[in-house]
Structure formats: structure tokens, C-alpha cells
Amino acid sequence: MTNNHHDSIRAVEWANGALKLLDQRLLPQQRTYVMLENVRDTAQAITDMVVRGAPAIGVTAAYGVVLAACARHARASATWKHDIETDIDVLARSRPTAVNLCWALDRMRRVIPAISSDPYEPLLAEARRIHEEDIAANRHMGQLGAALIADSGQTPCAVLTHCNTGSLATGGYGTALGVIRAAYAAGKVNQVFADETRPWLQGARLTAWELVEDNIPVTLVVEGAGAHLMKQGAVRWVIVGADRIAANGDTANKIGTYNLAVVARYHGVKFMVVAPTSTLDMTLSNGEGIPIEIRSTNEILNHNGSQVAAQGAAAWNPAFDVTPAALIDAIVTERGVVLAPTPEKIAAMMSGT
């Protein structure tokens, strides 16, 4: 836990030589922590959504490499650097869409060749750096994104967000929710509408919980309410996170994001994507190549273990969709803001020119 104003929650921590995850499946009813001591359990926790949200998945996987290396080094010190690739593969396959996962694994991998003795300290140091850098990036994006909202003199506005992009979904503070936190603190936002976000209810369970914990006014809406809400002029911005952004700005995020972007453009509501550069996949020229996770149909057909859908109905459960860059007004990263994204502008932002 941290004592920072508007940032009181940590979902991923390293504690006493183990990985401590806040079990997000049980929130907000129960605040239960899971202690993980091996790489298989870490990968399973990612697949099972104990931890979720692209940056939080990356941070978790980095700590997973520490667990893997210590076990391998203890068992067979001569070959651990080679053998650990099997464990890194297991982590890499735990969820397919968030590119932060492979980005974090690549960073951990790059540390390994120079290690000459016990890998614990150097790998833990890198995992902690990944974690701390993510929080710092979020804080910076919070300021950059908040600066886009309302000019001085305008009345504070309401915004709509989707899924959960807060402290729970990141190393801490949040991406889209970080912007909302910063904009609320600056008096630019006075009301947050949160989509409930079927089928895992990340909005209803997690975003609403984080905002209530931080005393930021939150109003839940069902996903189908987005168009009606925007038609009434109730929100000035839709602010979302991302799981993977292609080199042209096409953005994969929680299923339903694309709907909001279409509706926002129709109603003249601005659409902001907030994500660290670890979410950018410059190897993909556009969103066509982004792998979309298809999850179990049980998540739609059942609720809390009981069948809710008609017996015999089929279901289709893509966890993400891709919003075309043309529908995005701003992409906010820790390296800067790209307005009306194009491949050229994104390449310039990535190279710092």
C-alpha cells in the first residue's frame, strides 16, 4: 500500500522472496492476497485473471522470471540460463493480447547473459525497475493527459472510461485512470462514468472500487448506455487504456472499446488512449496483426458458477477489439502525446524526434 493521495492500491508486490498478488477475481467483496513461489503458478494466475491489465501482467511476468531463475539456478546451475527459456515461454503464453507481457520478458532476458553467480539480486533489481518505471510513466501520463482536458476557465467535465486501467491494472496509479485521477485533482473532471464491462465486470468491481477508495465520484452504467449518455452531452471525453497499439495507432483494448470510439466520433466526444510505450508494438504496421484473445464461453453463459443463458445457446467471447487509429483523437504515452495518430507521428514520438 502507498499513502499517496489518489493512489492507495498495489495489485503486485514482491514480499519475503515471493510474489504477492491481490486476487482481482474476488474484489471488491474480498481483499485476498495470493502468494506465488513458482513460475507455473505465476503464469496460471495471469491466465486465470488473478492479476490483469496489460502493464500489471508485464510486471507480474518480470517477477515470475525471478522465481524461475532462482529455482533453475538452485537445481542445475550450469544450464539454468538455457533452461529458463522454457519458463519464459510458459509466461509468454499466459495471455496473448497485451504486448507488455513479452516486452517485460525481453527486458528480463537481456539481463541474464551478464549474471555470473546467484541470479536473485540482479533479476529482482530489473523486475523492480520495470515496476517502478511503470508507476513513473503513469504519473507522467496523468499530467500529459489531464493537460488535454478542458482549458482553464471551462467548467469541470464528466468523462467515460471502460474496463479497469487503474492501480490494479498497472504497477500503480494507472493509465487512463491515472489521467482521470490527475484531472480530478486539477479540478478538470468532476464526474466519472464507468462501464460495467462484461463479462468480468472490471468497471463495476474494480474501477468503481478504486475510485470510491480515492473519493472520486463514480457512476456506473451498463455498456449499452454509452450512446445514450453521449447523445445527452453528458461526457466530454472517453478515456481508455490499451493492451497493444500498432505502429499506425490502431489500438487493441477491452472488448467494447471500439463501440465507444464509433459512438464518440458520431457525437463529437473526444477519444483518448493512454498507454506506456511498453504497450506499443512497432513490429505491427496496423491492428490487423494483433492477436485477439478468445476466452471460455462459460464467462458469458454462466455467472458465479450458475448457468444464466438458455441451455443450448452458443457464445463467442473475444476479450479485446481493435479501434482504428482514425477514431482516436489522442494517444498519450510517457514519451509524449500524439494527436490524430499516424504512423509518422508515432515513429517520431518513439524515436524522440
C-alpha closest to that of 159 among 140, 135, 186, 138: 186
Tell the smallest beta-carbon distance from residue 280 to ligand MRU (Å): 13
- Which of 243, 250, 281, 329 is the catalytic position? 243
Interface segment toward ligand MRU; rule CB under 6 A; list 66-74, 120-128, 164-172, 337-345 = 164-172
Tell the smallest beta-carbon distance from residue 166 to ligand MRU (Å): 8
The span from the CA of 162 to the CA of 153, in Å, is: 28
Between 72 and 321, name the residue whose CB sits nearer to ligand MRU.
Answer: 321
Residue 242 in contact with ligand MRU, rule: CB under 6 A: yes
Tell the smallest beta-carbon distance from residue 299 to ligand MRU (Å): 10
Residue 278 in contact with ligand MRU, rule: CB under 6 A: no
Is beta strand 336-339 parallel, antiparallel or unpaired with respect to 330-333? antiparallel
What phi and psi values does residue 352 have, to the nearest 5 degrees? 75, 25
Residue 210 in contact with ligand MRU, rule: CB under 6 A: no
The span from the CA of 95 to the CA of 43, in Å, is: 9
Give start and end residues of each alpha helix (H) in 186-320: 208-213, 226-231, 257-267, 298-301
Residue 96 is which amino acid? P
Between 104 and 163, name the residue whose CB sits nearer to ligand MRU.
Answer: 163
Residue 95 is which amino acid? R
Is beta strand 157-161 parallel, antiparallel or unpaired with respect to 237-240? parallel
Candidate list 6, 52, 107, 244; residue touching ligand MRU; CB under 6 A = 52
Binding to ligand MRU (CB under 6 A) within 69-128 occurs at 98
Q: Known catalytic residue: 214?
A: no
Tell the smallest beta-carbon distance from residue 152 to ligand MRU (Å): 28
What phi and psi values does residue 7 have, to the nearest 5 degrees? -160, 75
The C-alpha cell that represents 119 in the structure block:
541470479
Residues contacting 277, CB < 8 A, separation 6+: 137, 333, 334, 335, 350
Between 170 and 248, name the residue whose CB sits nearer to ligand MRU.
Answer: 170
The span from the CA of 84 to the CA of 289, in Å, is: 28
Candidate list 60, 167, 175, 207; residue touching ligand MRU; CB under 6 A = 175
Burial class (CB in 10 A: 0-12, 13-18, 19+), 40: middle
Q: Judged by CB under 6 A, how many residues of this single chain contact ligand MRU? A: 17
CB 188 within 8 A of CB 142: no
Tell the smallest beta-carbon distance from residue 112 to ligand MRU (Å): 27
Which residue is nearest to ligand MRU, using beta carbons? 241
Between 53 and 249, name the residue whose CB sits nearer to ligand MRU.
Answer: 53
The C-alpha cell that represents 98 in the structure block:
497485451
Binding to ligand MRU (CB under 6 A) within 319-338 occurs at 319
Residue 163 in contact with ligand MRU, rule: CB under 6 A: yes
Candidate list 58, 199, 241, 249; residue touching ligand MRU; CB under 6 A = 241
C-alpha gyration radius of the chain: 20
Between 46 and 70, name the residue whose CB sits nearer to ligand MRU.
Answer: 46
Report the catalytic residues: 243
Return residues touching ligand MRU (CB under 6 A): 52-55, 98, 163, 165, 169-170, 175, 202, 241-243, 253-254, 319
